[in-house]
Chains A and B, each alone.
Chain A
Amino acid sequence: MKPTVRLQREPFDAGAEAEKLARGRDDIGALITFTGICRGTENGEPIAALTLEHYPDMAEAEIMRHAAEAASRWSLLGVTIIHRYGRITPGENIVLVATASQHREAAFAAAEFLMDYLKTRAPFWKQVETASGKTWVAAKAADDTAAGRWEVQRRERKAAE
């Protein structure tokens, strides 16, 4: 299984990406697609746009590492991850995670794992543009907690081996 990872400025077509992942195959029984979308408000205040800054070489390598980690934890038949950068306006997509497996458990779990890691470990930074100016989005403790539970699971699995 070779993951597809793309960093791009342009919007993506989630449906087309999912279809591409499963096209011509009859071994895939479950296909999950998650799309992260730019909301029109942040903390109750309307926003004009989000600008995503990233560390290009590291982002691609880091996402690839996480896709490989997901493939070592679950039996996956396909993974596509697309992360946009640059200026994104409300309603536009930001990130796509698509996972395919024989049965649904692996695809669901892997998609959630990948999103939790993208939020806390992939080198991207969001800046919010509102009528009162531009501010950097602060990291959320809830995202660290969500990513941390996979680490606990990994340690427990190792201890059980």
Chain B
Amino acid sequence: MNVKLRYFAWVRERVGKPEETVEIPPGVATVSDLMAWLASRGEEYAFAFENRNVIRAAINRSHVRPETAIKGAGEIAFFPPMTGG
């Protein structure tokens, strides 16, 4: 499955790029699985996703939880807790 990934704030800085398109291997079914798989892709990813319980995610621009299935997602974003306002 081909998915566009977007990273924001310190997740973006640690990964070293704002976005990329990746081929997700079979077996990676949820947001949480995807973070675990990303963390295994290299040093910068391991650093970005070392503290996975603080990272938030959105699928197709809506907030989702770690257990949410990623099937059919076009765009998945990862970011720290929001600090707007």
Contact = CB atoms under 8 A, between A and B. Distances in A.
Interface of A: 36, 52-55, 57-59, 61-62, 83, 94-95, 115, 118-127, 136-140, 143
A137 B10 CA distance: 10
Given A55-B58, A55-B61, A58-B58, A126 B84 contact: yes
B61 A58 contact: yes
A54 B84 contact: yes
Interface of B: 6, 8-10, 12, 58, 61-63, 77, 79-85
Contact of A58 (B9, B77, B80): B77
Nearest to B9: A125
A58 B84 CA distance: 13
Contacts of B79: 55, 123, 125
Contacts of B80: 125, 136, 139
A95 B85 contact: yes
B19 to A, nearest CB: 11
A138 B8 contact: no
Contacts of A121: 63, 82
Given A54-B84, A125-B79, A125-B84, 16 more contacts: A58-B58, A58-B62, A61-B62, A62-B61, A62-B63, A118-B85, A119-B84, A122-B85, A123-B8, A123-B79, A123-B84, A125-B8, A136-B9, A136-B80, A137-B83, A139-B80
B58 A53 contact: no
Given A55-B79, A58-B61, A136-B80, A124 B85 contact: yes
B1 to A, nearest CB: 21
Nearest to B63: A121
Nearest to B6: A55
B58 A138 contact: no
A122 B8 CA distance: 13
Contacts of B12: 53
21 contacts: A53-B8, A53-B12, A55-B6, A55-B61, A58-B58, A59-B84, A62-B61, A94-B85, A95-B84, A119-B82, A120-B82, A123-B82, A123-B84, A124-B82, A125-B83, A136-B9, A136-B80, A136-B83, A138-B83, A139-B80, A139-B81
